[in-house]
Copies of this chain bind each other. A is one copy, B any other.
């Protein structure tokens, strides 16, 4: 099975590849603008991780560490990862690439929060994620799912 997970450098080539993913949005447009105005070149510490198949980027996710100070999900409060834009191109789905990305994220040993797209709940359940207790003030338009490493609990909602 090809493809190890790698951190993606943000450059024109990567952004061009991102256009093949459905969840292309303001984040990518903003990176493109930054490149165009030379604010950053090869934004090395990119939040994107992906899997290549030959020269094609076939799967990606965005992964970002939130500091303990802003942790409203886990007990004890701690640094955690927020994962979004997990997506595998249609012709490469059902081959384990999504799991590979999620396993990569779990490898940090930190709790993870994601806000999945509709209809992807069964995937997240297989990955061991559970619904967070919905707290309207905190979650608003989100459907938060969380993954708890050993010894970590969910915060009691108020």
Contacts and interface: CB of A to CB of B under 8 A. Distances in A.
A26 B134 CA distance: 6
A1 interface: no
Interface stretch (A52-60, A72-80, A94-102, A136-144): A136-144
B64 A27 contact: no
Given A23-B118, A25-B118, A118-B22, A62 B141 contact: yes
Contacts of A82: 140-141
Given A22-B118, A118-B22, A139 B29 contact: no
Given A27-B143, A82-B141, 15 more contacts: A23-B118, A25-B118, A25-B143, A27-B134, A27-B139, A29-B131, A29-B134, A30-B133, A47-B136, A62-B141, A64-B140, A84-B140, A84-B141, A85-B141, A115-B141
Interface of A: 22-23, 25-27, 29-30, 47, 62, 64, 82, 84-85, 115, 118, 131-134, 136, 139-144
